[in-house]
Structure 1
């Protein structure tokens, strides 16, 4: 059974320095922890929107 919501796992984990992002929640927490001035950058806005869509059931399913 596939995980749903924020517990959903990436097909390939994402490495960010010494951290590995395995789930949508990991990625969301990583983005939220970025400095506030970065939150307004269009790339980070798009990343968060994509995470929210995936957590709400969008995106590719296997």
Structure 2
């Protein structure tokens, strides 16, 4: 968030979205985040939907890359008692 702000409540998220520039406001990620916020606010839906929508919209510029060397897998390292 700009200037170290944090979105704590659903109202904070809604105010942040409404203050976005028109071009950014019309992005599909922000539209989905607004729909999720409305679902939670009006219908009492799960708040996790709103959180996921806003987080995806905030991080839309970040490219997710899978790096297989980052973590070793545990598959095949376990020895069973019957195999010893």
Shared topology, TM-score over 0.5? yes
In structure 1, the gaps of 5 or more residues are 1-15
Runs of 4+ in 1 over 2 A off after TM superposition: none
In structure 2, the gaps of 5 or more residues are 49-84
Where does residue 72 of structure 2 map in the other structure? none
| CA displacement, residues 7-61 of structure 1 (integer Å, 9 cap, x when unaligned) | xxxxxxxxx2311111100000011111111121100000000011111111159
Number of residues paired by the alignment? 46
Question: Of Structure 1 and Structure 2, which has the larger fraction of its residues in helix?
Answer: 2
Larger relative contact order (C-alpha < 8 A, sep ≥ 6)? 1
Q: Structure 1 length normalisation: TM-score?
A: 0.65
Question: Of Structure 1 and Structure 2, which has the larger fraction of its residues in strand?
Answer: 1
Q: Structure 2 length normalisation: TM-score?
A: 0.50
CA RMSD of aligned residues (A): 1.7
